[in-house]
Amino acid sequence: MAHSISLHTKRRSILVGALALLAFSFVNILPADAASVQEVKARGKIIVGIQGDNAPWGFINSSGVQDGYDADIAKLFGKELGVAVEFAPLAVANRIPALVTGKVDILFATMAMTEERAKSIQYSKPYAANTIALYAPKQDAIKSPADLAGKEVGVPRSSIQDKAVTDAAPNATVRRFDDDAATIQALLSGQVQAVGGNQFYGQRLNASKPDMYERKITFTAVYNGAGSRLGERDWNEAANAFIDKIKANGELAKVYQKWMGEEPPEFPSSLPNIPFTVK
């Protein structure tokens, strides 16, 4: 009888211990530093994740200050919330981890809206557009993805162009770099024979070596949204209300013209399997 009670007690202790460990593990996977909109307003500062070296989206200017399209949009968002803006420059692959672990409050970080990413973060309505294409020397005869067989193509790791090139050219060797600047330098230095990039790659390549490179293949047009954590309705609603406001009052068009040199496109009201609002 005593043996039976002892065994029962031991099993119960093991069960309680397992449950405690499970609870501890669950608590520790939550972003401990994640702040709500109200908490950000109370502390008087929002921490914005942004790309640190991807002009004209996000970059450090000659004065050592974060600048670019996303920076200007984020500053307007901070003004809307009534708080100062602190930027956290991030590499492409570090953007989502920084958000979900609470290191940043929101992403204005050239976040192309994809179904895969929508499983990890909550997108806002789109506030920018991006054309993803292949760039290579003019002398190279590349007219279709099939012409990339056996060639080395550079892309920023975990970017939309990474997926575009990987999907479209399975017979190419895809070489992945930390960011856009490293990818562009890889082409300039001859490490790769082509690169997958956005509409500004052509400008940046030709600024370094005039009249040498051109757009060969256009893969897709994608849209960028602000990124917040899944289920955080307050951040999603604040971002969407802000984007609606700057579209209506002309502030978005002003920033778009400043950095893109053109009027903003007609943004879609929905995208397949990419919700703009918390369900």
In a domain, 14, yes or no: no
**Is residue 271 scored above 90 in pLDDT?**
yes
**CA dist 196 to 3, 108, 248, Å?**
69, 21, 33
Same domain, 154 and 205: yes
In a domain, 70, yes or no: yes
pLDDT tens digits, one per residue of 74-126 = 999 999 999 999 999 999 899 999 999 999 999 999 999 999 999 999 999 99
CB atoms within 10 A of CB 209: 11
Same domain, 108 and 66: yes
Instruction: Name the pTM for this structure.
Output: 0.71
* Domain encompassing residue 168: 131-221
In a domain, 199, yes or no: yes
Gap between the Cα atoms of 279 and 233, Å rounded: 9
Same domain, 202 and 238: no
Same domain, 204 and 84: no
Same domain, 137 and 201: yes
Q: What does the DSSP assignment read for 107-173?
A: E-S--B--TTGGGTEEEEEEEEEEEEEEEEETTS---SGGGGTT-EEEEETTSHHHHHHHHH-TTSE
Same domain, 86 and 197: no
What average pLDDT does the segment 143-156 reach?
96
Buried b (16+ CB within 10 A) or exposed e, 35-74: bebeebeeeebbbbbbbbbbbbbbbbeeeeebbbbbbbbb
What average pLDDT does the segment 235-248 reach?
98
Same domain, 56 and 94: yes
Tell which residue, 87, 112, 107, has the closest CA to residue 97.
107
pLDDT of residue 102: 97
Structure tokens at 154: 């550079």
What mean pLDDT value characterizes the chain? 89
In a domain, 276, yes or no: no
Same domain, 121 and 138: no
pLDDT of residue 32: 56
Predicted confidence band of residue 229 (pLDDT cuts 50, 70, 90): very high
pLDDT tens digits, one per residue of 161-219 = 999 999 999 999 999 999 999 999 999 999 999 999 988 899 899 999 999 999 999 99
Looking at the 3D structure of the chain, how many domains does it have? 2
- Which residues lie closer than 8 Å to 73 by C-beta, 6 or more apart? 108, 127, 128, 246, 252, 255
Q: Please, what sign has the CA dihedral across residues 217, 223, 228, 232?
A: negative
Same domain, 124 and 229: yes
In a domain, 11, yes or no: no
Same domain, 172 and 235: no
CATH number at residue 41: 3.40.190.10
What average pLDDT does the segment 251-258 reach?
97
pLDDT tens digits, one per residue of 7-62 = 444 444 444 444 444 433 333 344 557 999 999 999 999 999 999 888 899 999 99
- 196: helix, strand or coil: strand
Same domain, 159 and 187: yes
